[in-house]
């Protein structure tokens, strides 16, 4: 494996330390095994950073979930209020329909009564005419002229 390939695998934030260790090992100042614990510690540190980021993301997701749950509860309450309003409106419409039906019945009854009264008026007028004719006839008979 070439050095360039190895360097590409090193995370950017660890690159300066890697170069320092690599130069020290290449120069023979230190033995490569003495940095094994540094490498493990570095990996543990990276894992802890990743764990911290993951926990923060989980916390953020849980916050968003809680917010969404609150929004959903508010929407449910609003839907219940709307349903109650609609129910009230339907009840009022039923009452109005009943009043309209009763008014229509009253109108029909009134129209029938008017028709009956008009028929009686016609009968009375006919009887009045008949009576008037009879009265005229009686007056003619009684009158000496």
- Pull the structure tokens for residue 88: 């009230």
End-to-end CA distance of the chain: 157
State the Cα–Cα distance between residues 94 and 85, nearest whole angstrom: 14
pLDDT in tens, 104-141: 999 999 999 999 999 999 999 999 999 999 988 888 88
Question: What is the 8-class DSSP label of residue 29?
Answer: S
Residue 145 has pLDDT above 70, yes or no: no
pLDDT in tens, 63-87: 999 999 999 999 999 999 999 999 9
Cβ contacts of residue 42 below 8 Å, gap of 6+?
14, 17
What's the rounded mean pLDDT across residues 9-15? Answer: 76
Domain definitions of the chain by residue range: 58-139
Q: What pLDDT does residue 121 have?
A: 96
30 touches 24 (CB < 8 A): yes
Cβ contacts of residue 3 below 8 Å, gap of 6+?
22
DSSP sequence for 48-91: HHHHHHHHHHHHHHHHHHHHHHHHHHHHHHHHHHHHHHHHHHHH
Identify the three-state secondary structure at position 11: coil
pLDDT in tens, 15-42: 777 777 777 777 776 666 655 555 555 6
């Amino acid at each position: 494996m070439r050095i360039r390939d190895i360097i590409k695998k090193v995370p950017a934030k660890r690159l300066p330390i890697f170069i320092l260790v690599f130069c020290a090992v290449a120069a023979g100042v230190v033995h490569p095994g003495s940095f094994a614990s540094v490498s493990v510690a570095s990996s543990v540190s990276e894992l802890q950073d990743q764990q911290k980021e993951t926990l923060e993301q989980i916390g953020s997701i849980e916050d968003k979930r809680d917010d969404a749950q609150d929004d959903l509860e508010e929407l449910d309450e609003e839907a219940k209020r709307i349903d109650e309003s609609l129910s009230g409106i339907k009840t009022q419409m039923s009452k109005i329909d009943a009043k309209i039906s009763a008014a229509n019945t009253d109108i029909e009854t009134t129209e029938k009564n008017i028709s009956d009264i008009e028929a009686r008026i016609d009968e009375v007028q006919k009887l009045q005419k008949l009576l008037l004719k009879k009265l005229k006839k009686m007056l003619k008979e009684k009158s000496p002229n």
